[in-house]
Copies of this chain bind each other. A is one copy, B any other.
Amino acid sequence: MAKHVQVVVVGSVALDSIATVSERRKDLLGGSCSYACAASSLFARTGMVGVVGTDFPSRHVQLYTKLGIHIAGLQTVPGKTFRWSGVYEKDMINRRTLSTHLNVFASFSPQLPADYQNAPFVLLGNIAPDLQLHVLSQARKPRFVVADTMDLWINIARKPLMKLISRVNMVTLNDGEARLLTGEHNLRKAAADILRAGPEYVVIKKGEHGAILFSRKGIFIVPAYPIDEVVDPTGAGDTFAGSFIGALAGHKKIDEKAVRESLLYGAVVASFCCEAFSLNALARLKRSDVAHRLLALRDMTSCG
């Protein structure tokens, strides 16, 4: 019997060139879809929807397969793969983009293969809202849809973005983006504005400071797991979203409690992501590593 895909993830697949204060790496496997799928696949059968060029190294596709990621939705088209290049400051938080070459990503038209279309969980990674809507329209019976976004779409595609927001269960965005979208500096007020637009949940991400979940039922403060050394924070937000939806897919009942618990998994897996370049930490991660760090994080938020 074929095992059905539980989680569909759409996003970018990229080759990243990254410089930190101490290291410099070229053409690393990256992109929101790569990180989110690697994270989600720890917990659930995950199908990738993305596009690469004919220059995309086959070893990266082999890694996806090795991690159990379904790649029927990964298109290979003539041309070059999306490339991003950036430099991190000493704080390992602020970064400057050196170059972005969309290449084949510029004409990406995401398609859900037949065996993805009944997947109950959908993560619409940070791509143009029109493309996110296009993917959503192909999902036949989604139970829970998460949409991530960024400042670019708030600035140039606000109308389709608001349409998207009204149709999903959860929106994730960072604090600056929540302020940009709503014009509210206060995060409670910004989140309330976004909730009024339709979603049940808003997650405001704050990088090393964790995240905050807002829903009609209340607020949940998602702590960040404090790590000893940040090697490369690229993809941490995508990893957070991917492990969240993967963990959520393991719950029978999708309620506030399930959402809160799954966000803790997101925080834990994202912390591992930052401990190595590319998918290196995620690829070697075991369920037991995750469970161990989750217990540690729970202890860090309990009075004992």
Contact = CB atoms under 8 A, between A and B. Distances in A.
Nearest to A297: B221
A300 to B, nearest CB: 5
14 contacts: A186-B229, A188-B228, A189-B228, A206-B209, A209-B210, A212-B226, A218-B300, A220-B300, A221-B226, A256-B304, A257-B303, A260-B302, A260-B304, A264-B303
Interface string A175-186: 000000000011
Nearest to A255: B304
Nearest to A192: B228
A91 interface: yes
Nearest to A207: B209
Interface in A196-239: 206, 209-210, 212, 218-221, 223, 226-230
B185 A91 contact: yes
Contact of A221 (B220, B227, B256, B300): B300
A261 interface: yes
B301 A301 contact: yes
A281 interface: no
A187 to B, nearest CB: 6
Nearest to A213: B300
Contacts of A303: 220, 257, 260-261, 264
A90 interface: yes
- Among A90, A187, A221, A223, residue most surrounded by chain B Cβ atoms (within 10 Å): A221
B188 A218 contact: no
Interface in A229-257: 229-230, 256-257
Contacts of A226: 187-188, 212, 219, 221
Contacts of A221: 223, 226, 300-301
A172 to B, nearest CB: 17
A299 interface: yes
Interface in A85-106: 90-92
A91 B179 CA distance: 11
Contacts of A186: 228-230
Contacts of A189: 228
Given A218-B300, A264-B303, A301-B301, 18 more contacts: A90-B185, A92-B185, A186-B228, A186-B229, A188-B227, A188-B228, A189-B228, A209-B209, A218-B299, A219-B300, A220-B300, A220-B301, A221-B223, A221-B226, A223-B223, A260-B302, A260-B303, A260-B304
